[in-house]
Amino acid sequence: MCKAFPQTLTNVARDWFSTLEPNSIASFSNLADKFFAFFASSKCIRKTAASLMQLRQGQTLRNFMIRFNKERLQVPDLHITAAVSALTYAIKCDAFKMSLSKTPSKTVTELLTRGEKYINMEKTLNLGKVGPSHDRVEYKRAHDPNPRQEPPRSKQRQEVPPTSFTRLNTSKTNILMEIKDMKELKWLARMRSPPQSRDMSKYCEFHRDHGHTTKNCKALQREIEALIKRGLLSSYVGNDKLPKNDCGRERASEAKRDG
């Protein structure tokens, strides 16, 4: 019987059993105590409602709700009040927080259904944002062999000489909306100047920041000009071949000749 007992153990337990000294086990309870003491670190820790309170939303609401539901299922006999409290404390959506605080869900099904409502709302708000998504912009920056950063404004004014730009047949805002997914387009980082020194009522789609409008963005004008010189935006070049900066000079010359 004693010789057959090791064959009932798993490989790991059998290896441990073989290391026991001869005549060191007086009874089965003594063997059980040694067994539990040796394998105590391998025991699965039972999760409680307190473990849910340690969760924090670090991703989208949809992904967090999936994670929260998995953790919830591992807590035995979890009361709905504890689940609502943990979820309210963990999520970032203020509207969802207020809804749970004002009218707590009475069942898990109701809680998950209400979460789906705010997941759809978050998705709708993200789709309504103009310009490329943050993930797409970050991907372009990470895979750009020659990333370009906008120099500080003070240096930019000193180092960038005046230049002439090709006349366009549409606005720079329309061009940006149509070429925003071009891999050749170099998106700039956000403005470095303090927010309090900028006009927060104006928004630039190219910088994705406040301070000036897309129409008056000089950096966007230079980027469009660079793409035109590479032959990528020929469809946006106006019929008038005169550069914008030379129009006034040409009209002045004509007026002088007429005079």
Name residue, tokens 């070429």: 179
DSSP 2: T
**Interval 211-245: pLDDT, tens:** 888 888 888 888 888 888 888 878 888 765 444 44
Distance CA 240, CA 238 (A): 5
CA nearest neighbour of 93 among 127, 66, 56: 56
CB 151 within 8 Å of CB 188: no
**Pairing mode of beta strands 209-211, 199-204:** antiparallel
| Confidence band, pLDDT 50/70/90 cuts, at residue 4 | confident
CA nearest neighbour of 175 among 243, 240, 126, 238: 238
pLDDT at residue 136, as a whole number? 57
pLDDT at residue 158, as a whole number? 52
pTM equals: 0.35
**Sign of the four-CA dihedral 90, 94, 97, 101:** positive
Q: Between 108-127 and 94-102, two packed helices, what is the crossing angle to 10 degrees?
A: 150
> Over 70: is that where the pLDDT of 123 sits?
yes
> Over 70: is that where the pLDDT of 164 sits?
yes
* Mean pLDDT computed over 156-167: 62
> Over 50: is that where the pLDDT of 186 sits?
yes
> Over 70: is that where the pLDDT of 146 sits?
no
* Mean pLDDT value across the chain: 76
Six-digit token string for 218:
């000089």
Percentage of the chain exceeding pLDDT 70: 74
pLDDT at residue 249, as a whole number? 45
Six-digit token string for 3:
């010789």
CB 180 within 8 Å of CB 214: no
> Over 70: is that where the pLDDT of 125 sits?
yes
**Interval 17-74: pLDDT, tens:** 778 878 777 787 887 877 777 766 666 667 788 888 888 888 888 899 998 988 888 8
